[in-house]
A and B are shown apart, each in its own frame.
Chain A
Amino acid sequence: MTLTKMIIGATSAIALAGAANAAAHMSGEMTIVSWGGAYSASQQAAYHDPYIANTGIAILNDESSGEAVAKLRAMNEAGNITWDLVDVIAADGMRLCDEGLAMEIDFDSMLAPGADGSTATEDFGETLVSVCYIPQIVFSTTFGYRTDMVPEGAAAPTGACDVFDMDTYPGRRSLEKRPIGNMEWALICDGVAIEDVYDMLETDEGLERAFAKLDTIKDMTIWWTAGAETPQLLADGEIFMGSTYNGRLFSVIAEQNQPIGMAWGNQMLDLDGWIVPTGLPDDRLARVMDYLYFATDTQRLADQAAYISYGPARASSAPLVGNHATLGIPMAPHMPTNPENMDGAFVTNYLWWADYRDEMDAKFQAWLAQ
């Protein structure tokens, strides 16, 4: 009940803000939390800078998205929420929503309709995975490889399953030091259909099969925890092939001209987006909602794609994706959502991982430590 009231309150606050005393509400600053690096830079250029130019509101950037859940919890316990808007991956957004730390959003009334006339709900479509979560981009965890280290006579790798092919592609690999993604790839590359992967992981046999597959490359694998590690390892020639976020690979390939190629097959798609912390005072909430309305519209999402190779979450933004802002190359082929890159692509099962993450992680780490 109170939630609905609060949403009504929030919406009316926006209406008020839009009306007479806009200036009073709009003064001041807000703190926006994101990932830092190239990703924050793309948000700065596509969202923050034009918004600051329009309104004069100062935006403070905080690069704490990696610990957003833990920090929001701590802030909530201390009763002092200092963040206004937080950028998190979908799984964290759902978790914050579950814990009541993220505000529920009425998408159609709080967000801009699509440029093609569709409502926000239709425009975002399947990317709306939680009532608290406003998606911005689709990104993927996928593989890059050293083009100059492909053995003579062998074809270049095309996807995740080539990472398990030690015979054709010898050399070290890098994988993320957590079960999500690796478990799916292990089973998919062992011949299991993606629809059956999660059911199978719940059984001991399925688990053993996944670990047996991973065992074939365990000795040759470097396990990363930060997205920047694989691009660095590739650039150093430490590994032949490794997984990371597709935008990171784009930047070493297109912006730094390293001899690295993309192996898109069986990429794992995921979302990144905004949540609004619950319990913001009315004036701050009004400010945030005004920003959100602007920053998640069709044009802004398309603009972001000019700085980083992540696909906009709105369907109506896709046709507007143009060239890279400084390199001038067309961005569409580098998007994970580009049809040519979608071979075998899958979306992680957030709900399943919410249930099994703790258990799987213990098992995965125990397996790693053996």
Chain B
Amino acid sequence: MSDASTTGPMRAADGTLLKVSLARALRRQKLRALMLIMPLLAFVLIGFVLPIGQMLMRSVENDIVQDTLPLTIEALQEWDSTSNESPPEAVFTALAIDLQAALESKSHTILGRRLNFEYSGITTLFRKAGRDVEDWNVETDGPFRVRFEEIDEEWIDPTMWRAILAYSGRYTAGYYLAAIDKTMVSGQIENRPKNESLHLMLFGRTAWVSILICFCTLLLGYPIAFLLSNLKARHSNLLLILVLLPFWTSLLVRTSAWKVLLQEQGVINDIMVGIGILADDNRFQMINNKLGVVIAMTHILLPFMILPLYSVMKTIPPTYVRAAKSLGATDWTAFWRVYFPQSIPGIGAGAILVFILSVGYYITPELVGGPTGSFISNRIAYQWSGAGNWGLVGALGAILLVAVLILYWVYDKIVGIDNVKLG
């Protein structure tokens, strides 16, 4: 009988199973921990995950076409879209019914705007048709094909109908195609005309200028970080304040200051003309182009390179370099073979920070970039507030997000994310 109590499962003082009691205590602890991070979790979910999810949804959602023209799209399935003839009468009858239903909520003009992103002119077609269709009797006023033709000849244009059919799905790849300069307006995926292709070039420019900025910040930041970590505390603190000072100044102020410095009648050009390096009528153009963006953004992002470098260099024991020298290494060998490899985690952290920040930069390219220095983010902003093509905004944003994630992955493979140190 006493055997049972010694060989059976262990119990806590109150007689419950020890395992259960332990789990309960741990659960309470976990719950408490969860409660503590709850505000942050909720904030991240609501402020970050949800909007990004919504953006991704927007980039494929295309309900508006089927919701506004349900009967028309159904009737359109019967039409041979490869033929060079306009759709049959049934489609136009369905269109008249659909349009009348759409008039009340004005969804026909919203649809017009949506389709106009792919096929210029549809906005007006739908607006004009809406005005006339309002007075029609859909039971008796047919045939409608002729009546639509009377409103505008383009209504019987098969190319226009092919475009509507191509973008009629509830989900569409159309926005992603537009984001990589392609279109399926004819039913097949094809390149947009060259004089309308913009996005791939902007993605490319954003990537390569960001790499350049990354490189410039490294070139300028490395010696400063080295100096910072090797000076006496009194001096290095002063220097650190100088590094941080621009950090505390508004981004807008710093960008505008560069405008004043770099413009053609600006401070730098005036000085160069004053000391006779440049002729007055041949001033150097340093702003409203790529050069301006590189200069201004290198300055703005410099602290993001210096600080991780500094915190890593701080931890490199000076004895290693001394040891290398005492073993006969030249200054260069001691630096390159001993010091530099130990500072690579700092370079990695700084480079990732600067690159990711600059890929998404908006305000500086907008102010000093001019047409040859603007980034993909400037185009995204225009599509959001100017053109109102939010699906394209979602697609461009998603591509940017995926590109950064891929780079992060490549970086992890090459450098190793464990090697990144912020201190």
The residues of A with any CB-CB pair to B shorter than 8 Å are 1-3, 66-67, 69-70, 73, 95, 98-100, 172, 177, 207, 222-223, 225, 236-238, 351, 354-359, 361-363, 365-369
Determine which of B105, B196, B389 lies in contact with A366 in the assembled complex, contact meaning CB atoms within 8 Å. B196
Known contacts A3-B104, A223-B370, A362-B192; can you find 15 more A-B pairs with CB under 8 A? Answer: A1-B104, A73-B390, A95-B113, A98-B127, A100-B107, A172-B264, A222-B288, A236-B263, A238-B263, A355-B121, A361-B387, A365-B371, A365-B379, A366-B197, A366-B201
A-B contact pairs, 28 of them (CB 8 A): A1-B104, A69-B388, A73-B388, A98-B113, A99-B106, A100-B110, A222-B370, A223-B288, A223-B371, A225-B366, A238-B265, A354-B116, A355-B116, A355-B120, A355-B124, A358-B117, A358-B120, A358-B389, A362-B196, A362-B198, A363-B196, A365-B379, A366-B196, A366-B197, A368-B371, A369-B201, A369-B202, A369-B371
**Cα A359 to Cα B195 with chains together (Å):** 10
Q: A236 to B196, Cβ gap below 8 A?
A: no
Q: How far is the CB of A218 from chain B (nearest CB, A)?
A: 9
B109 within 8 A of A: yes
- Which residues does chain A contribute within 8 Å of B384, judged by CB atoms? 70
- Interface size counted on chain B using CB atoms at 8 A: 42
- A70: chain B residues at CB < 8 Å are 384-385, 388
CA distance A237 to B283 in the complex (A): 13
Find chain B residues with CB under 8 A from A100 CB: 105-107, 109-110
Instruction: State A366–B106 Cα separation when bound (angstroms).
Output: 33
Also in contact, A354 and B124, with CB within 8 A (given A100-B106, A359-B196, A363-B195): yes
B206 to chain A, nearest CB (A): 12
B197→A2 contact, CB < 8 A: no
Per the bound structure, the CA–CA distance linking A72 and B370 in Å amounts to 29
CB within 8 Å of A: which B258-277 residues: 263-265
Instruction: List the 10 shortest-distance A-B pairs measured between CB atoms, nearest first.
Output: A100-B106, A368-B371, A98-B109, A362-B196, A359-B120, A70-B385, A67-B385, A355-B121, A366-B198, A355-B124
Tell me the bound Cα distance from A359 to B112 in angstroms. 14
**Are A66 and B264 touching (Cβ within 8 A)?**
no
Complex interface: chain A residues within 8 A of B379 (CB): 365
User: Chain B: which residue is nearest A174 at the CB level?
Assistant: B288
**In the complex, chain A residues whose CB is within 8 Å of the CB of B386:** 361
With a CB–CB cut-off of 8 A, which chain A residues contact B110? 98-100
Most buried by A among B107, B194, B371, B390: B371
Q: List residues of chain A with CB within 8 A of the CB of B117.
A: 358
Query: Is there contact, CB below 8 Å, between B112 and A98?
Result: yes
Min C-beta distance of B407 to chain A, whole Å: 23
The residues of B that contact A73 with a CB separation of less than 8 Å are 388, 390
Q: Is the CB of B387 within 8 A of A358?
A: yes
Q: How far is the CA of A362 from the CA of B392 in the complex (A)?
A: 13
Q: How far is the CB of B156 from chain A (nearest CB, A)?
A: 18
CB distance from A64 to the nearest CB of B (A): 10
The answer to whether the Cβ of B66 comes within 8 Å of any Cβ in the partner chain is no
Judged by a CB distance under 8 angstroms, whether B237 is at the interface is no
Within 8 A of A (CB), among B9-41: none
Minimum CB–CB distance from B166 to chain A (whole Å) comes to 17
Using an 8 Å CB-CB cutoff, how does the interface string of B359-377 with A read, 1 for contact, 0 for none? Answer: 0000000100011101000
Decide: A237 and B265 in contact? CB cutoff 8 A. Answer: yes
Q: Which residues of B contact A368 (CB under 8 A)?
A: 371-372
A180 to B186, CA, bound (A): 28
Q: Does B123 contact A (CB under 8 A)?
A: yes
A9 to chain B minimum Cβ distance, whole angstroms, is: 16
A104 CB to closest chain B CB, in angstroms? 10
Instruction: Give the shortest distance, in Å, between A220 (CB) and chain B (any CB).
Output: 10
Of all chain A residues, which has the CB nearest B178?
A: A362
B124 A351 Cβ-Cβ under 8 A: yes
How long is the Cα–Cα vector from A363 to B116 in the complex, in angstroms? 15
Known: A73-B388, A177-B371. Is A369-B198 also a contact (CB below 8 A)? yes
Contact partners of A225 in chain B: CB under 8 A: 366
In the assembled complex, the CB of B177 is this many whole angstroms from the nearest CB of chain A, namely 14
In the bound complex, residues from chain A placing their C-beta under 8 Å from that of B288 are 222-223
Within 8 A of A (CB), among B198-218: 198, 201-202
Asked whether B123 lies within 8 Å of A354 as measured between CB atoms, the reply is yes
Shortest C-beta distance, A259 to chain B (Å), equals 14
Tell me the smallest distance from the CB of B174 to a CB of chain A, in Å: 13
List of B residues within 8 angstroms of A357 by Cβ? 387
User: Which chain B residue has the least Cβ–Cβ distance from A101?
Assistant: B106
How long is the Cα–Cα vector from A267 to B385 in the complex, in angstroms? 26
In whole angstroms, how far apart are the Cα atoms of A66 and B197 in the complex?
26
Check if B198 sits within 8 Å of A238, measured CB to CB.
Answer: no
- Residues from chain A with Cβ under 8 Å of B109 in the complex: 98-100
Query: Chain A's nearest CB lies how many Å from the CB of B162?
Result: 17
Closest to A69 in B: B388
Using CB atoms, name the residue of chain A closest to B130.
A98
Bound CA span A236–B134, Å:
56
The contact of B123 among A177, A237, A355, by CB within 8 Å, is: A355
Asked whether B201 lies within 8 Å of A358 as measured between CB atoms, the reply is no
For B116, list chain A residues within 8 Å (CB): 354-355, 358
Across the interface, name the chain A residue whose C-beta is closest to B117: A358
Q: Which residues of A have CB within 8 Å of B372? A: 368-369
Cα–Cα, bound, A351→B120 (Å): 12
Q: Which residues of A contact B371 (CB under 8 A)?
A: 177, 223, 365, 368-369
B286 to chain A, nearest CB (A): 12
Give bound CA distance, A369 to B209, whole Å: 15
Report the minimal beta-carbon distance from A179 to chain B, rounded to whole angstroms.
Answer: 12
Contacts of B263 in A (CB 8 A): 236, 238
Q: A359-B120, A369-B201 are in contact. Are A66 and B385 (CB under 8 A)?
A: yes
- B121 to A, closest residue via Cβ: A355
Which has the most chain B C-beta neighbours within 10 Å: A2, A225, A365? A365
Within 8 A of A (CB), among B378-418: 379, 382, 384-390
8 A Cβ contacts from B169-195 to A: 192, 194-195
Give the distance in Å from the alpha carbon of A369 to the alpha carbon of B181 in the complex.
Answer: 15
Cα distance A225–B381 in the bound complex, in angstroms: 13
CA distance A238 to B374 in the complex (A): 21
Measured CB to CB, the nearest residue on chain A to B392 is A358
Whole-angstrom distance from the CB of A233 to the nearest CB of chain B? 8
A6 to B414, CA, bound (A): 64
CB-CB nearest in chain A for B370: A223
A177 to B288, CA, bound (A): 12
Contacts of A3 on B, CB cut-off 8 Å? 104
